[in-house]
């Protein structure tokens, strides 16, 4: 038996995926290049994962030597993957943090359309939760505070296109209401 398998490691999370109810990837982050060397292997794994979990009532499965925790809501599936030796409770805390963060960002309207409209902020939240497989944050409120930048506080040159468009919409709306 390889002793490296049982040594503690900071690299707990192998991947995070959000899929729609048809099994299509909306957002994913894979941190283990050995397990998932290319997009092709990721897509094959995601298809298998979705087929196993779409009708199941549990929230944890073992698939291809990985522990996969998942949660579904309306038309979205949230997945966290870790190695078979990882603590399921740690992975569950990451899953709960991801779901709760997305729920707060989307103002409790957790569905595909609103997720796609706020994809940039959800991607930032995923980066705040986990970086390179290392868990950085497990408190959803802290994650939301870090990613919820107010656009009026950011100089125009540093805003993303989505932030500029949102700011323009708000200004137009208020000018029409006056």
CATH code where residue 31 lies: 3.30.450.60
CA 131 remoteness from chain centre = 12
Residue 107 in domain: yes
Residue 154 in domain: no
What is residue 166's predicted lDDT score, i.e. its pLDDT?
76
DSSP string, 26-83: EEEEE--TTT--SHHHHHHHHHHHHHHHSS---SEEEETTEEEEEEEETTEEEEEEEE
Question: For each of the chain's 178 residues, which pLDDT tens digit applies?
Answer: 455 556 777 888 999 999 999 999 999 999 989 988 899 999 999 999 999 998 887 889 998 889 999 998 888 999 999 998 888 999 999 999 999 999 998 888 888 999 998 888 999 999 999 999 999 999 999 899 888 755 445 555 555 666 677 777 777 777 777 6
* Domain of 14, in residue numbers: 9-147
What is residue 4's predicted lDDT score, i.e. its pLDDT?
55
105 contacts 144 by C-beta, under 8 angstroms: yes
DSSP 3-state assignment of 14? strand
Closest CA to 94 of 78, 76, 116, 77: 78
DSSP 3-state assignment of 149? coil
Residue 15 in domain: yes
| Residue 79, beta-bridge partner list | 17, 70
What is residue 45's predicted lDDT score, i.e. its pLDDT?
93
Residue 157 in domain: no
Residue 139 in domain: yes
* Number of folded domains that form the chain: 1
Residue 129 in domain: yes
Residue 159 in domain: no
Following CA atoms 82, 22, 20, 70 in sequence, which dihedral angle do they give, to the nearest 10 degrees?
A: -30
Residue 158 in domain: no
pTM, two decimals, is 0.78
């Amino acid at each position: 038996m390889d002793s490296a398998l049982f040594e503690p490691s900071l690299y707990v999370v192998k991947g995070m995926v959000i899929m729609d109810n048809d099994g299509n990837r909306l957002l994913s982050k894979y941190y283990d290049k050995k397990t998932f060397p290319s997009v092709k292997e990721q897509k094959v794994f995601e298809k298998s994962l979705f087929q196993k979990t779409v009708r199941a009532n549990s929230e944890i499965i073992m698939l291809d030597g990985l522990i996969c925790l998942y949660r579904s809501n309306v038309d979205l599936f949230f997945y966290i993957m870790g190695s078979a030796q990882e603590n399921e409770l740690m992975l569950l805390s990451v899953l709960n943090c991801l779901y709760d963060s997305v729920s707060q960002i989307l103002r409790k309207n957790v569905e595909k359309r609103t997720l796609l409209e706020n994809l940039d902020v959800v991607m930032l939240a995923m980066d705040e939760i986990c970086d390179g497989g290392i868990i950085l944050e497990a408190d959803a409120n802290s994650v939301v505070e870090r990613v919820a930048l107010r656009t009026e506080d950011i100089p125009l040159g540093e805003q993303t296109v989505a932030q500029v468009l949102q700011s323009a919409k708000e200004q137009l709306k208020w000018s029409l209401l006056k």
